[in-house]
Structure 1
Amino acid sequence: MLSVSAAACALALLATPADAAPPSTGEGFDCSGLADGNYPDPNANTHYVACVAQTYAYSMVCASNHDGNPLYYIANSGPDPATSRCDYPEVAAIQTPSLTAGTAKIGGDPRVVQGLTATVLNDGQRLRGAWVEFTDAEGAVLCGAFTRADGVARCDSAPLPTDAAVLAKGYTATYAGGGDPEVGWQPASGTGSITV
């Protein structure tokens, strides 16, 4: 396996309020129910996640080639460590996931948008560990969350600074992809409604 470093990542399935920074690579990947081995990191084409004991997730970085350029994890090469690999960008296939946003509602005290959801699929399979950001109709970030094993990212917003008229226009859920528009994981987005 071509890797140069490992760092333990959080096992909790994180959701962040609007003012928090996006997560670091490998964070939020849930290994429960997966065979031990290597899995693609849908948020970084040059990384993969090593699952150990169906519990621990380690973010691994692919090595660089002889020119110092990064290699890309080959999405369908794992989980078996004997076949899992990083390779040149021209070998890495483009992954084009789809995203479907759901229906959320305003509720709580203080008032928040509850139940913002997005389901991310790749070739009909639920994509786990993908970071999804939820924004209102004017582009203000409401919250962000990782997709779980069921492929669904779910979070509630921070207390609402946005007025009801803007929220009545719905929300956008965006998966940014793996960071390279020509290789690996491509972005996906969808719009959902908010019951005001």
Structure 2
Amino acid sequence: MFALRPSNRKRNVWAVSLLDVQPTDRVLEIGFGPGLAIAEFAGLVTRGHVFGIDHSQAMVRQAARRNAAAIRAHRVHLTCASVERLPSFGEPLDAILAVNSVGFWPDPVERLRELRRLLRPAGRIALVSQPRCPGATRDTTVRAAQELQDMLTQAGFTHLRVETLELDPPVACVLANNPTGMQSPAI
């Protein structure tokens, strides 16, 4: 169902485009669902690696089917895992994406600190929120974006900016960078 909803496809393609992913990047998506953004990343990351974690084995299976060729080519790596128990990704990551999942994370500021340690200096993160509560409006989206900005700031990210996609309700994407020279040892 999620893969077929046009707004989900539009939101994921848009979010991926905001991260300015390069062919050699190492990218992580947290909570990839049916793998729409993973497929977008796989089309851009031709010499790097795309990693994805999702806590649902059903979503891992669905995303694996959607991205089977890139998995066979060893460019896409999907794992059933939660954000509080991240697998190893080896070398530092260049970009991280999370769409409508931060609200489900235990202690999201601490999770964001852990993710920042996985990013190379100047690495990028994009947190996307499209509020789905009954009666959600532009104001609901603005409040959600402010909450994401506050969490990213507390976690030590810099150069925050907000982009908006005009859907109903609007989608906010908060982008930020890992400060240059601030990478911690990988966890």
| Normalised TM-score (structure 2) | 0.29
- Which is higher, the Rg of structure 1 or of structure 2? 1
Higher normalized helix content (fraction of residues): 2
Higher RCO structure (Cα 8 Å, ≥6 apart): 1
